[in-house]
Amino acid sequence: MDRTVKISVTAGDVDIDLDGSTAEIEEMLSLLRRDDSWGLMIDRLKVARNAAMEAAIAAAKASGLPERGSAFRTLVETCALKRKPDQVLGAIHYLRGVEGVTDSPPRVINQLFDDAGMDSPGNLSLYLNRLRERNFLIIPSGSEDKNRFAILSGEGRAHLDKRSTK
């Protein structure tokens, strides 16, 4: 018995609507990945995700909610950051990209987790060192090689983007 599968995705003016057997869908998806349609759709979804994040922050500020914790929690949930190392990477991204913080000692990162109502990482140095080993974090020169000044590398950003599209 061959089942019919249907996939429908709309992202801005890109509309992908596929139906057929599993094998046919896999073949059609393979073709879409080779041309610009798939990449264009993923780019549109990233833009929509960023707009939603900005809107959530603006709404939290306007309503007087404790936006710091809720905005970080929204980032973690939107990007499906389930594992603690990914959450720590998301925290560094949030602190640098949203709050503009350049110096984040462990207490600042742990406070962000507390503000979001999430379990803090515990041994933060362990997570930060492992993320550095995976080339997801870099320490800018002149920062005395201290984890508190870590920023996301291109690979770290790509990793977070990959998590959010799964």
Q: Is the pLDDT of residue 89 over 70?
A: yes
- Residues 38-44: what's their mean pLDDT? 81
Mean pLDDT lowest for which of 12-16, 61-65, 108-112, 157-161? 61-65
Predicted confidence (pLDDT) per residue in 70-80, tens digit: 888 888 888 88
pTM of this structure: 0.61
List C-alpha distances in Å: 82 to 76, 79, 86, 87, 92: 8, 9, 7, 7, 16
| Average pLDDT taken over every residue of the chain | 83
CATH architecture of the domain with range 66-164? Orthogonal Bundle (1.10)
Residues pairing with 15 in the sheet: 10
Q: Is the pLDDT of residue 58 over 80?
A: no
Per-residue model confidence (pLDDT) at position 56? 67
Under 8 Å between Cβ of 7 and 25 = yes
For the chain, the structural domain boundaries read: 1-65, 66-164
